[in-house]
Amino acid sequence: MKSFSTRVILWQRQHGRHGLPWQINRDPYRIWLSEVMLQQTQVTTVIPYFLRFIERFPNLSALSSASEDEVLVLWSGLGYYSRARNLHKAAKLIVEGGGGAFPHTPADLERLPGVGRSTAAAIAALAFGKSHAILDGNVKRVLARHGGIEGWPGNKAVEQRLWLLAESLLPQTGIETYTQGMMDLGANLCTRSRPSCVCCPVADDCTAYRLGRVTDLPTPRPKRQIPQKNIQMLLLMDRGEILLEKRPSSGIWGGLWSFPEIPEECDAATHCNAQFEFTVTETRSLPGLKHSFTHFHLHISPTLVHIASRPLKAESPGRLWLTKRDAMGAALPVPVRKLLSRL
């Protein structure tokens, strides 16, 4: 029987993905951008964002010279916005501190904001032919099944076993094809549900397949209670314009533009009068919206607030009054964009 890596390489050459927009060449900038976008996000979702992003920022220089707002506008809707801010920071570091030369070793790549061990290894392998193991979510699933490794992969001890297995299977040559093949196997054959084991090039010695335990491995995350959070969002309107506030750079939706938030039980008119010195002419509750994050569910109660005057206090830095059309062009979180589109 051919080695594990040889079978993966041969399968990838014939059946793997070859037409993805970041596979046109081995440009490390495009590969880095795609790998960051693909963190916790599927290929089909990433492709249109990647194409828009690369058209606006075709190289490191263009990205590093852009404003954070410009970057976040193109990222709006893709989620996990710290990735966009880290890309922007990393581009500045490479251009301003590294003379524009893209790092090519995993150790140097890991020093970039937002680049961890697996992402660094993927960039080094795909762009520079460096032989290092990757371990993203798809690859963890392939290796847990093939090696019969029990336990939730998010557990440090289990993850360490997977890293050791990943490193032991590396090929002597063809690291670029092998790395892409491992990604393709997890995405196209060794899927979470209904995997295509009969088509898999490494099924013959797969522990999970041999023992009939494909649905058991990898071990699912232990069940936990997901917290619920309730807020009220204020859609403040004045003469056809709506108020947006820039969120802090840390936390959810960092650096994006959103509506003012208050506790769900607060009276909107009283808050607006005290906080902004607005004269409120009308308030109206709008249909609620639920938005789920990795670690909690957010329940939004939107309130439409019409005001009669706009004091100087409302014009402070970090606040913008925009028409609906202009607001839709800002860097907005998905639920804010949905609420705005309802108006």
Active-site residue set: 35
Q: How many CA atoms lie within 13 A of 315 on its CB side?
A: 4
Burial class (CB in 10 A: 0-12, 13-18, 19+), 273: middle
Q: What share of the chain is helix, strand, coil (3-state, %, to 5)?
A: 45, 15, 40
Torsion of CA 177, 180, 181, 186, to 10 degrees: 170
Q: Are β-strands 228-238 and 297-307 bridged in parallel, bridged antiparallel, or unpaired?
A: parallel
* Closest of 179, 176, 105, 175 to residue 135, by C-alpha: 179
Three-class SS state of 299: strand
How wide is the angle at C-alpha 100 spanned by C-alphas 99 and 104, nearest 5°?
105
- Which H helix or E strand runs over 307? strand 297-307
- What DSSP designation does 203 have? G
For residues 316 and 188, give the distance between their C-alpha atoms in angstroms, rounded to a whole number: 51
Please say whether the dihedral angle defined by the alpha carbons of residues 32, 36, 40 and 42, taken in this order, is positive or negative: negative
For residues 94 and 108, give the distance between their C-alpha atoms in angstroms, rounded to a whole number: 11
